[in-house]
Amino acid sequence: MKIGDKIPEVLGIDANGREIKAADFAGKKLVLYFYPKDNTPGCTAEACSFRDHYDTMREAGYEIVGVSKDSAASHTKFADKFQLPFTLIADTETTLNQAFGVWQKKKMAGREYMGTVRTTFIINEEGIVEDIITKVDTKNSATQILNNK
C-alpha cells in the first residue's frame, strides 16, 4: 500500500472472531497500525499510547485498529491485560500484512527471518491511505498522529 491506495474491503478477523471490514469505518478516519508481537516492550508501549489517548483520538475523528500475526487468544489476553479499548486483528496468515507491504525480511542477532515491520497507516473517511508512518515512536504513537494532522 502507498499513499492514495484504497484499502481492501475485508481487513481480517478480530479477537472475538468478528470480520472487520473497511465499510465499518466509512465516514471516519482510521489508524491501522501493524506491530510485530503482543506483550513485547515496544508493542505494549505503542498499544498503551493509543489506549491513553483513545478519547482524544476519537474526538479528533479517528478509529484505531491494531494488526499483528498473533492469534485471537493472544490478542484477547493482551487487550485484557492492558485494557485496550480498540480492535485487534489476528492476521495469523499474514494476509493483511502482505497486502500492506509490511511483511518483510528482517535481521536480528545475525539471522534473517520474515516478520512485521512496525508501520502505521492513516486512512481517510473514504478508505484511502492518506499517510504512512514508518518511523513509529512507540511511546508517543498517538501524539505522533495527533500532532501531524
Q: Are 27 and 14 in contact (CB under 8 A)?
A: no
Per-residue pLDDT, 55 = 95
Residue-wise pLDDT tens digits, 57-98:
999 999 999 999 999 999 999 999 999 999 999 999 999 999
Active site residues: 43
Determine how many CB atoms are found less than 10 A away from the CB of residue 105.
9
Per-residue pLDDT, 46 = 95
Determine how many CB atoms are found less than 10 A away from the CB of residue 23.
11
Task: Tell me the average pLDDT across 32-58.
Answer: 95
What does the angle CA 143 – CA 128 – CA 147 come to, to the nearest 5 degrees? 15
The mean pLDDT value of the chain amounts to: 94
Per-residue pLDDT, 119 = 97
Tally: H helices and E strands in the chain? 5, 9
pLDDT tier, 109 (very low <50, low <70, confident <90, very high otherwise): confident
Does position 149 have pLDDT exceeding 70, yes or no? no
